[in-house]
Amino acid sequence: KTTIARIYARALDAELFELSAVSAGKDDIRKIISKDTHDRSNVLIREKKPKVLFLDEIHRFNKSQQDFLLPYVESGELTLIGATTENPSFEVIAPLLSRCRVFVLEPLSEEALRAIIKRTKMKVNKDAFDWLLGYANGDARKALGMMEGAQSLYGEVMVETLNKALESPHLRYDKKGEEHYDTISAFIKSMRASQPDAAIYYLARMVEAGEDPLFIARRMVVFASEDVGLAQPTALVVANAVFRACETIGYPECAINLAHGVAYLAQAKKNRSAYDALRAAQADVHEHSNLPVPKKIRNA
């Protein structure tokens, strides 16, 4: 996604600014808007370049922050390229979404992934090739990262060294990086698919890597309402109890509480109707603004 943004900015001869919505805020946007692109040390003032903002994880911006972007996008002062792993119809406000085009990035084909792996010039035998293709699932960065890990740790890229690299939590797990979000995503999706063994496996990976138990517990509280919802309302009670246990007990014992809660949530029936209704209502609010309250239900 970042590469696409850089290619686009270069094609426009534009000034590219890269931010992550995880850590950025309105002040960062203000700095970009107010930045003087003229080279004042040069007698000949150059023509002002257009500005392209690449905002990764745009869904992490709340409504107020997304609203702040709107006038600059409307005026053309900023060309916004937002990247998200979520459904933009739910996570990006309607006024901003209506001024953008949505492009879905599909996983790379096996043929394309093979070509990328060959381009690295690393020695990879057929078995390791097949292992990497299955592991990466169309994601070149995952394949390359695992190859580099096996090469740097064990001096060669073979199925045995790839498996060893995969089992090294300190190689792959960065609590502020992509693996952090990939693992919590796999954890949530395993619970959503009612696969308790898979969910507890990803829980164990996070626990062994030293992930903050409150981060995990918070995601479980959200999951209890978002995914289990009305099918089993006690799920929220259980998830909150797990969060409280993590607060009061901490590691290592609270990992047992986490596993208890994960097994419960994964096996619970699922009903997203409350979550879907909220998102649909929010979309109506964004589209129609503040419609008057009907007289018969107003405060008398």
pLDDT (tens digit per residue) in 205-234: 899 888 889 999 999 999 999 999 999 999
pLDDT for the residue 109: 92
Please tell me the predicted confidence (pLDDT) of residue 38: 43
Q: Full-prediction pTM beyond 0.85? A: no
| Domains of the chain with bracketed CATH | 2-36+49-97 (3.40.50.300), 110-172 (1.10.8.60), 178-274 (1.20.272.10)
pLDDT score, position 112: 93
User: Is 172 in contact with 166 (CB distance < 8 Å)?
Assistant: yes
* Alpha-carbon gap, residue 137 to 109, rounded angstroms: 9
Edge-to-edge strands of the sheet including 15-20?
A: 15-20, 51-56, 79-83
pLDDT digits (tens, 9 = 90+) for 29-78: 999 998 754 444 454 445 578 999 999 989 889 889 999 999 999 999 99
- What is the per-residue pLDDT for 191? 95
Angle between helices 196-208 and 178-192 (to 10 degrees): 160
How many alpha carbons lie under 13 Å from residue 3 in its C-beta half-sphere? 3
Segment 95-140, tens digit of pLDDT: 999 999 999 888 899 999 999 999 998 899 899 999 998 888 888 8
Element (H, E) at 83: strand 79-83
Task: Name the band, by pLDDT with cuts 50, 70 and 90, for residue 265.
Answer: very high
Between 76-80, 177-181, 294-298, the lowest mean confidence (pLDDT) is in: 177-181
Residue 178, pLDDT score: 61
Asked if 229 and 251 count as a contact pair (C-beta separation under 8 A), the reply is no
- Dihedral over alpha carbons 11, 14, 16, 17 (to 10 degrees): -150
What is d(CA 28, CA 277) in angstroms, rounded to the nearest whole number? Answer: 33
